[in-house]
Amino acid sequence: MIRLYLVRHGAAEDAAAGAPDALRALSLKARRRFHKTARSFGRKLDVILTSPLVRAVQTAEILAGEVKHGALAVLQELAPDQSPEALLKAVSKRAGKAGSVALVGHEPQLSRLLAALAHLPAATAAKLDIRPGAVVRVDVNALPQAKNAEARWWIKSRGRHKGLPFKSEEPRKPAAKKKAAKAKAETASAKKPAPKKTVAPKKAAARKKLAPRKAVPKPEAAAARPAPKPVAPAPVPPPSAAPQKFMGTPRPPGPPQPRPAAPPPVSAPPPPPRAEEKPPDSGNSS
Amino acid sequence: MRVYLVRSATAEGAVDSALSAKGRRRFRRIARAFARLGEPVDQIWTSPALRAIQIAELLNAATLAHDMVDVALELRPGGSPEAVLERLAYEGKGGVVLVGHKRQLAEVAARIVGLSAESVYLKKGAIARLDVRGLPLAEESQEQ
């Protein structure tokens, strides 16, 4: 049995003027987050395979710095423009008899690979979402005709969850921009202006809505493995009003991710009493 | 300001090859030896080439403190040494590690020190330290 760890690189900085996308480096925040994730990894790796792009190589090296590993090599098929079938073939060729292999790559390739490995139906596969900096462990009987692949767990900097990494039903909030502004000032990075400071009440409200991502209650997690999670599959998920505990570090603002189900009303459900001069749409500019 | 020059092999041909297992082991040893010297490193700037990124990350992991790797396009193979010097002048502070390629680093060193580029030779796996004080410039190099 082979243990595959699918690793998605963290948020990358914007490209310098005229520089190609492949050369974009990890943002400082993404590096720190991923250091935490890598430190909590706790297992040996036989091989680390990475996409050739700078942000993936950096992620792979950070992982290599914290985890005992055998070899680290670049696999061209992990680059974002390659097909998952080519990827699967290349992985089985390169991984061979290895017991645990980490694949550092990009979305949507990693999700497609996961869907192919676990033989997920299209509806479930569409709901997969591997977050930036997240690690998904998949136990596979054999490559490439992987039968009975079972997604065991996935972690990101804020926690560990069982089952498949699905899109959360909550809309993403650009929470804690103030903290991000502070972190940027610390690193004395004069390249980008600090992100706009949001009004504090928005942050507090955002925190409440973020919480469900952290805790996956056990019965739900058990159901997640044999069958897809009973989550409302609405492409525009309605925000839940249930107040829940907030745990962990605030979400990265990060570059805006092109999500297929990008909910337009991300900024729509803010609490009404707020002295906000910004037009509602700019709330999505993380 | 202290500038540390670290040489990374330029890729031959179109494909940017990664450090081999042997290369990584070797450079990890170099990085650890460098860290043991106790030189305070504030920034690590690297060329975007694959091997340079790996070297920079290995150095970062060894010297620790906090994450400080910056991908600097000025250090790409074939980049101009003036651009590097300019960036050093504007953003360099404390200990700056430059991970780049032989030709450009030799030019940078030559300009800082006032020699001709031909007389500067960075051995593979060597880390050279230049103390830059503006005028006059002092030079001191250590090879590990």
Q: pLDDT (tens digit, 0 to 9) for every residue of chain B, 144 residues total?
A: 888 899 887 666 556 678 887 888 888 888 888 888 888 888 899 988 888 899 999 888 888 656 777 778 888 888 888 888 888 888 878 888 999 888 888 888 888 877 777 777 777 777 888 877 663 233 444 444
Asked if A54 lies within 8 A of B91 by C-beta distance, the reply is: no
pLDDT in tens, A221-261: 333 444 444 443 444 434 444 444 445 444 554 454 444 44
Which residue from A31, A54, A65 is facing B48, i.e. has the nearest CB?
A54
pLDDT, tens digit (0-9, with 9 covering 90-100), for A174-214: 444 444 444 444 443 334 444 444 344 444 433 433 433 44
Q: Any alpha helices (H) in A169-274, and if so which ranges?
A: 177-186, 200-210, 218-224
- CA-nearest of A77, A19, A246 to B71 is A19
Supply the pLDDT for residue B72. Answer: 80
Residues of chain A contacting B71 with CB distance shorter than 8 Å: 23, 25, 54
Q: Name chain A contacts of B16, Cβ cutoff 8 Å.
A: 52
Q: Hey, which residues 172-191 in chain A have their CB within 8 Å of chain B?
A: 190
CB pair distance less than 8 Å for B53 and A58: yes
Q: Which residue of B has its CA nearest to A53?
A: B50
Dmax (CA) for chain B in angstroms is: 42
Sign for the CA dihedral angle at A206, A211, A214, A220 comes to negative
Decide the pairing of beta strands A69-74 and B69-71.
Answer: unpaired
Q: What's the half-sphere exposure (Cβ side, CA atoms, 13 Å) at B48?
A: 20
Other beta carbons within 10 angstroms of residue A247's beta carbon come to: 13
